[in-house]
Chains A and B, each alone.
Chain A
Amino acid sequence: MLQVESLDVVIGEKPILRHIDLEVSGSEIVAVLGPSGSGKTTLLRAVAGLIEPAGGDILWEGKSMAGVPTHRRQFGLMFQGYALFPHMTVGGNVGFGLRMSGRDADGDLVAEALAWVGLEGFQGRQIDSLSGGERQRVALARTLAPRPRLVMLDEPLGALDRSLRQRLVTDTRRILEEREVTALVVTHDRDEAVAMSDRLTLMRDGEVVQSGRLEEILASPVDAWVSEFLA
């Protein structure tokens, strides 16, 4: 279970996140929804340990992650632009996390991860030969392959065109459910958030506005902005 407790993040002099509280447990998928600039990506980066919080705590199964470097957290993060390594093949990318933890000498786990996303046999392909949708799935396979304790996706479909997005929303959700992972998805698109998650957390200007299931929030929105944003 991931617990974010009263998290504050300051970049430069500017407070980006203020008193964020958040919980994700079991094989639950939580979507963080908010307009661009509301601090969603910063939240994921803080959980991953890529930026240091100014206050508050991040806990996994009750244990504080403060002082644990990024590479020891065993949290997966799929980046907005995918950040695929251009100098490695698809297989090299997907196997990277496995190699870092000394697993998968024979490539079976890479093949398995590629099968999850429906890209069997793509191991030898070069990154620049992939289409946008294929890149998205390679990035997802790379994130899932080392079997992280928590999977975070930053605008997982943001870079794709509309028709592709509609298809991949359901695909991505299905893949996450099959793997039974704890997942945190960040998006600015209401429909995407609803389709991909069990529960929503609404963010605005670095603060959590409201959390809960869609029906719950719609039944009792905290302010006019919430009902408008979700309409």
Chain B
Amino acid sequence: MRRIRWGWVAVSVVPVVFIGYFFAYPLFRILTLGLSEMGAGSTGLQARLFKVGWFTLWQAVLSTVLTLLVAAPLTWAVSSFDFKGRRLVMALVTVPFVLPTVVVGTAFVALGWRDSIGAILAAHVFFNVAVVVRTVSTLWTRIDPGLEEAARVLGASGWTVFRHVTLPLLRPAIAAASSIVFLFTFTSFGVVLILGGFHYATLEVEIYRQAVTLFDLPLAASLAIVQLLGVTGALYWYARYQEKTAVAWTLERGSNRRRARGRARYGMVAAVVGTLAALAVPLSVLVSRSFDSDFYTRLFMADPVVGVPVSSVWNSLTFAFVAMLLATLVGVMAATVITGRSGQISRWFDLTLMLPLGTSAVTIGFGFIVALDWPFDLRASAWLVPSAQALVAVPFVVRATVPTLRSIPSEEREAAAVLGASPFRVWREIDLPMVSRAAMVGAGFAFVISLGEFGATSFVARPNTATIPIMIFRLLSRPGAVSFGMAMAMSVVLALMTAGVVLAIDRARFGELGTF
């Protein structure tokens, strides 16, 4: 007979209850609500669905294709060549990716690009260039250079080598990057809400409008189901594609970058400078326009409608701090369960915890307002915002800590047990010291995500406790140059806060890498 290990039960219960109550149960309520609406054959649904669903799909496909094209030259440059400042270039190109969506939205409004499909596509490209550059270059630098040389010896010229050898070998990375960009743009919310005006709405934006503005919860729920189906479909296609095209080949361990010479040198410089300059435009315009008038001073003055804008900084920091603690606690516990148990339980747990990652933030926030009236009405609670943000952040904490926990050899734990350590002592003496750094990195991610979180927060934030992104959106929604100027100033503040935390994480991670 197996002894029940109460410590394990305790560790498993917290994440199960958290995910179950804040994610699975709300999702179930959305499904029942939406399915009954769909069963009723609402005509409003059909008309909306066709228009909004079609737009969501084609803008996502177009955004993905454009991102691949824009990212191609820089990917080539950083994959093929070694040059001074290469690390800096990689860091700079990642800046847009970590910026909150409202900041990017505001920056493109500052460019004067409101209410247009061009603005939406440009913002999506701006956001996701880093995804393509990083994903594809990681593989590209590790392709055996002998393959390209072999093709040249066999009579293939430069372009032919690229088309017949390099490009096919990069296909898995290109597919991975494309699916990530597609998912991000298919579930794009903040950018489209700000830049799309009344003409353009993705499913996310439409769910928000129906639920928050028009209060048609059943229609919003059925749109959320369609959205879930779309996301699941994309993930399924990607998994199938990977299976089909899986090619095993030996990758080089080091990198194969060389110094650029001759004509290639001009191409490389043009690709790096051109891409970085283009990415710098929206941000520099945002920063310089935010100084056009006394916008920063006005952030400290009380406004009859939105209150004192700068108070949102305090709200954001508080919520982000609580969300960080929640996400780290739940995430590290979940990671312990995932790595401590082998087989079915572990895999099932792993998959369940990743589900919030595939679900859009809007669906999570919408689920909160639909479902959290039971067993108590939590919808007015101050805990709602950090809980929603923590839910969004938990998968990132899990992803940051699981590899470290897995890397601890089981002999170390067994040795500790043989020496008389109880399971809890084993965890405290062996696992905890090793995982604490990874947990800190995970906590940092959780903090950044909470600071910039907009999709879920827009459903659950109350007027008197607006976070910075909510405050920016409110300022943007009001007509007038002063309001807009304050939105820009607030965006610069948020961007700086985000950059500060990301830099701190990066340094922590760099120290970790240095020990290898």
Q: Residues on A close to B: CB < 8 A?
A: 48, 50, 69-72, 74-77, 79-81, 83-87, 96-97, 100-101, 127-128, 142, 146
Contact = CB atoms under 8 A, between A and B. Distances in A.
19 contacts: A50-B149, A70-B152, A71-B152, A71-B160, A74-B155, A76-B154, A77-B153, A83-B146, A85-B150, A86-B169, A87-B247, A87-B249, A96-B151, A96-B156, A97-B154, A100-B160, A101-B155, A127-B249, A146-B154
Contacts of B240: none
A18 B413 CA distance: 57
Nearest to B148: A83
B112 interface: no
Interface of B: 144, 146-147, 149-157, 160, 164-165, 168-169, 171, 247-250
Contacts of A72: 155
Closest 5 CB pairs of A and B: A86-B249, A100-B155, A97-B154, A83-B146, A83-B150
A96 B154 contact: yes
A83 B149 contact: yes
A86 B193 CA distance: 45
Contacts of B149: 48, 50, 70, 77, 79, 83
Contacts of A48: 149, 153
Contacts of A70: 149, 152-153
Residue of A50, A71, A127, A128 most packed against chain B (CB within 10 A): A71
Contact of B164 (A83, A96, A128): A96
A40 B424 CA distance: 60
A127 B249 CA distance: 9
Nearest to A127: B249
A128 to B, nearest CB: 5
Contacts of A81: 144, 146, 250
Contacts of B160: 71, 100
A90 B79 CA distance: 28
A74 B153 CA distance: 7
Contacts of A87: 168-169, 171, 247, 249
A169 to B, nearest CB: 23
B360 to A, nearest CB: 35
A128 B152 contact: no
Nearest to A100: B155
Contacts of A76: 153-154
A128 B155 contact: no
Given A48-B149, A79-B150, A83-B144, 19 more contacts: A50-B152, A70-B149, A70-B152, A71-B152, A76-B153, A76-B154, A77-B150, A85-B147, A85-B151, A86-B169, A86-B248, A97-B154, A97-B155, A100-B151, A100-B154, A101-B155, A127-B249, A128-B248, A128-B249
Contacts of A71: 152-157, 160
Nearest to A92: B164
A71 B151 CA distance: 8
A31 B168 CA distance: 36
Residue of B152, B156, B164 most packed against chain A (CB within 10 A): B152
A146 B247 contact: no
Nearest to B151: A96
B11 to A, nearest CB: 41
Contacts of B250: 81
Contacts of A97: 154-155
Contact of A142 (B154, B169, B249): B154
A42 B162 CA distance: 24
B174 to A, nearest CB: 13
A97 B156 CA distance: 8
B164 A69 contact: no
Nearest to B147: A83
Contacts of B144: 81, 83
A86 B247 contact: yes
A85 B146 CA distance: 10
B157 A146 contact: no
B422 to A, nearest CB: 47
A24 to B, nearest CB: 17
Given A50-B149, A79-B150, A83-B150, A146 B155 contact: yes
Nearest to B145: A83
Contacts of A74: 155
Nearest to B154: A97
A181 to B, nearest CB: 15
Contacts of B157: 69, 71
Given A79-B150, A128-B248, A85 B155 contact: no
A101 B157 CA distance: 11
A96 B156 CA distance: 9
Contacts of B146: 79-81, 83
Contacts of A128: 247-249
A146 B155 CA distance: 9
A68 to B, nearest CB: 12
A212 B33 CA distance: 89
A69 B154 CA distance: 12
A32 B365 CA distance: 71
Contacts of B248: 86, 128
A77 B152 CA distance: 10
A2 B152 CA distance: 20
A47 to B, nearest CB: 10
A18 B155 CA distance: 28
A100 B157 CA distance: 9
B247 to A, nearest CB: 5
Contacts of A69: 152, 157
B145 to A, nearest CB: 9
Contacts of A96: 151, 154, 156, 164
A80 B249 CA distance: 16
A142 B152 CA distance: 13
A196 B269 CA distance: 48
Nearest to B165: A85
Residue of B149, B150, B152 most packed against chain A (CB within 10 A): B150
Contacts of A101: 155
A146 to B, nearest CB: 6
Contacts of B171: 87
Contacts of B168: 87
Nearest to B249: A86
Contacts of A83: 144, 146-147, 149-150
A100 B156 contact: yes
A72 B160 CA distance: 13
A93 B250 CA distance: 17
Contacts of B154: 71, 76, 96-97, 100, 142, 146
A150 to B, nearest CB: 11
A74 B152 CA distance: 10
Contacts of B152: 50, 69-71
